[in-house]
Amino acid sequence: MYDKTLKVVKGHPHEAIIGDPRQGIVTRSSVNHNYIAFLFQIEPKNIKEAESDDNWIIAMREELNQFERNKVWNLVPRPSNHNIIGTKWVFRNKMDDQGIIVRNKARLVAKGYSQEEGIDFDESYAPVARLESIRILLAYASFKDFILYPMDVKSAFLNGLIKEEVYVEQPPGFENPHFPNHVFKLSKALYGLKQAPRALYEKLSGYLLKNNFKRGSIHITLFTKSLHEDILIVQIYVDDIIFGSTNESLCKDFAKIMQDEFEMSMMGELNLFLGLQVKQLKDGIFINQSKYVKDLLKQFGMDNAKKSKTPMSTTTRLDKDEQGKSIDQKLYRSMIGSLLYLTASRPDLKIMPRTKNPSFTQGEGSSTGRKRGARKNAQSVEPQQLFPHHGIRYPHAYYDRKILAGKVLDFEFCSAENFPIVGWIDSLGLRPLFMINLPYYPDLMKEFYANFGFGTSVTLSASINGKPILMNYATLASLLDIPCDGTRSWSNRNWIEEDNFSKEKCVHLLFGEHAQLVDKMYSRNLTLDYRFVHRVVATHVLPKSAGFDEVTHMEAYTMFHIVTGRRINIPLLIMSHMKGIHSRENARLAYGNIVTKILMHFGIELEEEVHHALQRCDKLGKGTLGRMGFKRHKRLGTWIPRNEDSNRIDEEDEGDEEGEEVQGQEGMAPAVVSSPTNLFTTSQFEQLMQAIQGIESNQRNIAKELKSIKSKQTRLERKLFEKGLIGDEGMIHSSSPEDDVEDHNTDIEHLGNDDDDDRMED
């Protein structure tokens, strides 16, 4: 304190003056070099380093004050027949979820390694919460839509009672000057003692059971308390507690009873627990370990390493390196354990640390896989895993139900290619149905189908967020802006039996005049036009996720009416198909865009719901033909099957267009230039290819015969020349016309025999 007799100008009161006015003025440049102000951010390694900083001295005094308040020990003379356990100070900086130091913590711990089992302690096992149970609790809190709170028991181990007689040395740096040789006899547990965790668990669990909590039968660190329809959940991890309830008042009551018994610290909503960074938002609970990843990279000297897009390499071989240098076993194990703990929020890394050979003699190269896993984390240090809010909007059976978003027909492409489907759809007034480009809402769709009901065969009822939905096929037709007249027949498995419908005519129209009426029909036997109509029906009117090669009876019935222009009640087909989806346990929930149209019509709130827009690949057009196995041939001016194209056509025309999916592109391409329609059926195309191949085969046979004839002619001339029957210019000699007639005939006969032999050789 400065001298109060010092003269102070301007009448400043002494108590308002900060510091000693007799000291010189401190400028900014001097502060920049005054690093003593930042020493408290460095964790001391021993008591000597800590004594040089007032912040750590204050932290040590706070720790000893906790001992006095909790009546942990009593100073007694040193006994001669007991083991005296040493003590030491441990210094740590406490950080928030952003890695910023918020306080200095000094902990006095016992050197428990010097304890003797059966004398200084009996049982030491204490249950702790598994990381899986923490994740389950987070998912359940998101499901029930309640907030989780953290709670920390200050100097928690000092609350656990011990039954053994244990003596410890006085704290280093804080020995009693009057009794320097005395020791402390413990009444409660001390950090570092082997029985300390068990003593704390028994204290906490006993207190919770006393206050009407129930202990979990599997996870005994989980405690629950029910009140009417509400539930309070408490999860204990040593001295850290997280809790939450469907009723906020139960959380307040729990905090009060805990503060009555223990000295607790409350820290608002849960945002950091066991290295997991938690964000509780309206869409769900997000968890990540970005801070842990940064610390991990720094620990292994990889904070400046190159990033990796994949956690594992598919080509790297991890054979044993006989000549390599043995790796550091401790470092290797540390890397494995660190990566395994990281899988709490990174399931994509789970297989990597478990598939490497754990042998420690295989050389340093074997640690490449571990480092690659760490580099994968450097690629994105803030990946998040979401536990979405489901509430209780639909039963558990609907959680994993898949959804069919819906499709949009590319009328521009179909018109450019002169596909007749455009005229067929427009003649029935169905174009608006195939142009619904709306996002789908997964949770609302599941709730829609879960609360599905049929009052009559033509009415549908459901409820979304408590709002009722009641409509019939006329209502559906009105909101879809399509007609509601026409035939109203429906059958899941068999042919429709109607007076004005013939299944034989249907099959002959779609599959050809000579097609037989069989149980199963396949789309590969359809012409291109009809096959495209089938894909449209199987994605818009009667959606399915697979099995497009098969044409069902109901699909053929619908196609027949569309192609012939006969009226068919499409809204009734849609509602009947919805009923079938609802009744099948694992059927995919279809009509994503139509359900959105229904929700909008009935005023269901959509703003805060998770939704997904239709993708470009959800457009039926050029990419669809590619998926169906067709390619557009420029010279022929039509779409032809890829696997039935000839090599000659491929060689002559290299500019063929394929469907986008075949080319590896996503989405829809611009419409191609219009060309004259020249479509072949599959059977006609096969006949054409067979004819071309037959002509090519005949041409090759003729060329072979000509070559054989020319070879025979050459041999015959050579033999005649050797016999002297012809000259150099091919003329026959006539010097002895009478004497040589017999020899001449004989030579000709031999030549004929030789020719027969040559023919057999050929």
User: pLDDT for 418-435, tens place per residue?
Assistant: 899 999 999 999 999 999
Q: Is 672 exposed, middle or buried (0-12, 13-18, 19+ CB in 10 A)?
A: middle
Taking the C-alpha atoms of residue 175 and residue 599, their distance in angstroms, rounded to an integer, is 75
Question: Which of 175, 161, 166 lies closest to 82 in space, CA to CA?
Answer: 166
Q: Which structure tokens are listed for 365?
A: 């190269």
Mean pLDDT of 190-195: 84
Better-scored residue on pLDDT, 209 or 268: 209
Mean pLDDT of 249-275: 85
pLDDT of residue 560: 94
pLDDT of residue 277: 81
pLDDT of residue 636: 73
User: pLDDT for 295-317, tens place per residue?
Assistant: 778 877 777 777 666 555 656 66
Angle among Cα 423, 429, 432 to the nearest 5 degrees reads 100
- For 472, the 3-state DSSP assignment is strand
- For 230, the 3-state DSSP assignment is strand
Q: Which helix (H) or strand (E) holds 174?
A: none
Confidence of residue 735 (pLDDT cuts 50, 70, 90): very low
User: pLDDT for 517-569, tens place per residue?
Assistant: 887 899 989 988 999 999 999 998 999 988 889 999 999 999 999 999 999 99
Taking the C-alpha atoms of residue 93 and residue 44, their distance in angstroms, rounded to an integer, is 10
Whole-number percent of the chain with pLDDT over 90: 19
Better-scored residue on pLDDT, 25 or 521: 521
Taking the C-alpha atoms of residue 446 and residue 464, their distance in angstroms, rounded to an integer, is 10
DSSP 102: E
Better-scored residue on pLDDT, 228 or 389: 228
pLDDT of residue 72: 87
Residue spans per domain, the chain: 48-274, 285-310+326-386, 398-620, 681-762
Handedness of CA 649, 650, 654, 658 (dihedral sign): positive
Whether the pLDDT of residue 745 is over 80: the answer is: no
- Outline where 489-569 has alpha helix (H): 503-511, 528-536, 553-564
Confidence of residue 351 (pLDDT cuts 50, 70, 90): low
User: pLDDT for 684-728, tens place per residue?
Assistant: 666 677 777 778 778 888 888 888 888 888 888 888 777 777 665
- Residue 400: half-sphere exposure toward Cβ, Cα within 13 Å: 3
Taking the C-alpha atoms of residue 24 and residue 30, their distance in angstroms, rounded to an integer, is 12
Confidence of residue 388 (pLDDT cuts 50, 70, 90): low
Q: Is 758 exposed, middle or buried (0-12, 13-18, 19+ CB in 10 A)?
A: middle
User: pLDDT for 220-233, tens place per residue?
Assistant: 889 999 988 899 99
Phi-psi region of 445 (alpha: psi -120 to 50; beta: other; left: phi over 0): alpha
User: pLDDT for 562-610, tens place per residue?
Assistant: 999 999 999 999 999 998 888 888 889 999 999 999 999 988 888 878 8
pLDDT of residue 669: 32
Confidence of residue 32 (pLDDT cuts 50, 70, 90): very low
Whether the pLDDT of residue 367 is over 70: the answer is: no
